[in-house]
């Protein structure tokens, strides 16, 4: 689809922030349901945008590299890096993405590459009850991008949006 059908307006984003506030849960998603919450991003986002976005949005998008939980091979995927209150965060609007599961299995160890600079880091997962301000900041910053606010509306629980604080590791 092209045009307005695949875009979220500022008004839609703001309405979502007011009306469908991101609810927090005191239990992780795995404790409240037997299934993992994950919405696969649209094909055009996975196939096209993910390849060109790191070149266009150089200050926001990094390549995350983390060892695969089953293959052991290093996997790389573009991710948005949120800057909030002096910290950097990784947030997934889509739920339990493969990179989230790989990052957890790797003990939080990964590498972020931005502007050609690779930086090893350790990810510290934010408990669901502490995610709401970070998720609201993420929506304020990126909610007007295609699929973001729409996906948060479809998956409203904070427990279903894994969020990690990035702690730089000295090389």
CATH number of the structural domain 3-168: 2.30.110.10
Distance, CA of 153 to CA of 30 (rounded, Å) = 20
Rg of the chain over all Cα atoms, to the nearest angstrom: 16
Query: Average pLDDT in the 7-18 region?
Result: 50
Count of C-beta atoms within a 10 Å radius of residue 59: 9
Q: Residue 21's pLDDT is what?
A: 42
Q: Residue 40's pLDDT is what?
A: 60
Q: Residue 111's pLDDT is what?
A: 97
Distance, CA of 95 to CA of 163 (rounded, Å) = 10
Q: Residue 150's pLDDT is what?
A: 78
pLDDT digits (tens, 9 = 90+) for 136-162: 999 999 888 777 787 778 777 888 889
Distance, CA of 98 to CA of 2 (rounded, Å) = 28
Q: Residue 154's pLDDT is what?
A: 77
Task: List, in order, residues 6 or more apart from 98 with CB less than 8 Å away.
Answer: 75, 77
3-state SS record for the chain: CCHHHHCCCHHHHHHHHHHCCCECCCCCHHHHCCCCCECCCCHHHHHHHHHHHHHHCCCCEEEEEEECCCCCCEEEEEEEEEEECCEEEEECCCECCHHHHHHHHCCCEEEEEECCEEEEEEEEECCHHHCHHHHHHHHHHHCCCCCHHHHHHHCCEHHHCCEEEEEECCC
The mean pLDDT of the chain is: 76
pLDDT at 24 over 50: no
Where exactly are the structural domains of the chain? 3-168
pLDDT digits (tens, 9 = 90+) for 30-50: 444 445 565 666 554 555 555
pLDDT digits (tens, 9 = 90+) for 64-121: 999 999 999 999 988 989 999 999 999 988 888 899 999 999 999 999 998 889 999 9
């Amino acid at each position: 689809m092209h045009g307005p059908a695949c875009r979220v307006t500022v008004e839609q984003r703001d309405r979502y922030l007011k009306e469908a506030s991101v609810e927090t849960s005191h239990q992780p998603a795995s404790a409240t349901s037997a299934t993992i919450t994950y919405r696969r991003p649209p094909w055009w986002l996975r196939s096209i945008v993910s390849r060109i976005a790191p070149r266009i949005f150089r200050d926001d998008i990094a390549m995350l590299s983390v060892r695969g939980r089953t293959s052991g091979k290093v996997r790389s995927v573009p991710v948005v890096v949120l800057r909030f209150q002096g910290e950097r965060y990784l947030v997934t609007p889509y739920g339990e993405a493969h990179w989230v599961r790989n990052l957890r299995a790797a003990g939080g160890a990964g590498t972020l590459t931005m502007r050609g600079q690779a930086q090893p880091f350790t990810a510290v997962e934010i408990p669901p009850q502490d995610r709401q301000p970070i998720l609201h900041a993420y929506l304020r910053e990126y909610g007007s991008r295609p699929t973001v606010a729409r996906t948060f509306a479809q998956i409203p629980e904070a427990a279903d949006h894994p969020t990690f604080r990035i702690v730089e590791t000295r090389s």
